[in-house]
Structure 1
Amino acid sequence: MTLAAVAGRAGVAVPSLYKHVSSLDDLRRSVAIESVTELTRVLAAATIGRAGPEAIRAAADAIRDFAHRHPGRYAAAQVAPDGSDPADAELAARAAETLTVLSGVLRGFGLPEDELVDAIRMLRSAIHGFVTLELGGGFGLPDDLDRSYAVLIDGVIAGVELLAR
């Protein structure tokens, strides 16, 4: 993404963009904020009222569906804010909301507090890896991807249950 490309797609001159964003980094941060906010809304809607394995499946499906529908926004939502940069404060706040939703999904397993971050990282890494390979055409075998995805999520659930012991 470049400011020139964005200006071209928006049908405006590059200098006009500077009325709204100060730099390419500022534009990327704004896109990330909107993307994380939208992903969090999708996650919250999918998981509300659910617990245990059902909540993990709903969260995973919501993330996968979001990535398929909005691959660019999904990619933008994967950028971690820089906690030492005041410009990233809003992105950090939106990311914290996402973590709150995921924490709620995983708390239903009775995880000790010190295992929660590990469980969130496991869940996110598994889904992200699968989705990235899927969207990039990395699964060349003719076998059913949905079945493989279900096996992956079952494995994540088993891993979370193991952490909860």
Structure 2
Amino acid sequence: MARVGLTAERLTLAGAELADEVGFEHVTVSELARRFDVKVASLYSHVRNSHDLKTRIALFALEELADRAADAVAGRAGKDALAAFADAYRDYARQHPGRYDAARFRLDPQTAAAGAGVRHARMTRAILRGYDLDEPDQTHAIRMLGSVFHGYVSLEAAGGFSHTAVDPQVSWDWIIDSLDTLLRTLTTR
């Protein structure tokens, strides 16, 4: 019998919070059971195993991040939309480092297709419509933006920019300006 108050949704949220505290790679069903002061077996009526728990956290994080990004870009176009989209990712990674890592968890194709990752791709394509890119340039641009945003956020989180006097925000703004310039240049090719 399931313990009163425990649900898959509650465990997913608690797992996401745990990921932010200890790192996504350290989230397990047994660690979550300790948080709820229950036996591990009592959680298995809600989640199958640690992989299932991590998948749920990943889907939760993707949805949460998609909502934030959508709110950020609403009513914006061009460089303003690009900057708002990028800032939403960076802010989310800073506020929820474990959840941000969870959003990068490899999902099987069927689960990924049903998750919010599709919304992320649609939003990126919508932003790129302002740059009038044809295929395959649009796909290349999506991959470039994802790589730049994720790379910067990951290096910043690891303290990679703490060794110079240049403010990371100044570099971030410079990168967004440079991406905008590049994307506008690609339009005229």
Return the TM-score normalized by structure 2: 0.80
Kindly report which structure 2 residues correspond to 1:29-44, keeping only aligned pairs within 5 A, or say none. 29-44=55-70
Root-mean-square deviation (CA, aligned residues, Å) is 1.5
In 2, the alpha carbon distance for the partners of 1:124 and 1:159 equals 15
**What CA distance in whole angstroms lies between the structure 2 residues aligned with 1:158 and 1:118?**
16
Q: Which moved more, 1:113-122 or 1:68-77?
A: 113-122
The AA in structure 1 aligned to 2:179 is V
1:71 is displaced (CA, Å) by: 0.6
Please state how far the C-alpha of 1:78 moved relative to its aligned partner: 1.7
Report the counterpart of residue 133 of structure 1 in structure 2.
155
In structure 2, what is the equivalent of residue 97 of structure 1? Answer: 119
1:109 pairs, out of 131, 139, 143, with: 131
Alignment of 1:13-162 (within 5 A): 13-83=39-109, 86=110, 88-89=111-112, 92-139=114-161, 140-162=163-185
Displacement of 1:79: 2.6
Query: Would you say the 8 A contact 2:28–2:50 is kept in 1?
Result: yes
Q: Secondary structure at the match of 2:104?
A: coil
Q: Would you say the 8 A contact 1:55–1:105 is kept in 2?
A: yes
- The structural deviation recorded for 1:17 is 1.2
Any stretches of 5+ residues in structure 2 without a counterpart?
1-26
Structure 1 11/54 Cα, relative in aligned 2: closer, same or farther at 3 Å? same
Q: CA deviation at 1:94?
A: 1.6
Structure 2 CA distance for aligned equivalents of residues 71 and 163 of structure 1: 33
1:125 maps to a residue whose letter is S
Q: Tell me the distance in 2 between the aligned counterparts of 1:128 and 1:9.
A: 30
Q: Is the 8 A contact 2:62 2:115 kept in 1?
A: no
For this pair of structures, how many residues does the alignment match?
161
The separation in 2 between residues aligned to 1:93 and 1:5, in whole angstroms, is: 25
* Structure possessing the higher radius of gyration over alpha carbons: 2
| Structure 1 unaligned residues grouped into runs of 5+ | none
d(CA) in 2 for partners of 1:43, 1:22: 31
Q: Which whole-Å CA distance do the structure 1 matches of 2:61 and 2:104 have between them?
A: 9
Distance in 2, matches of 1:3 and 1:19, equals 12
Q: 1: CA distance between counterparts of 2:142 and 2:135?
A: 11
Q: Which amino acid aligns with 1:9?
A: R
Percent of matched pairs sharing the same residue: 39
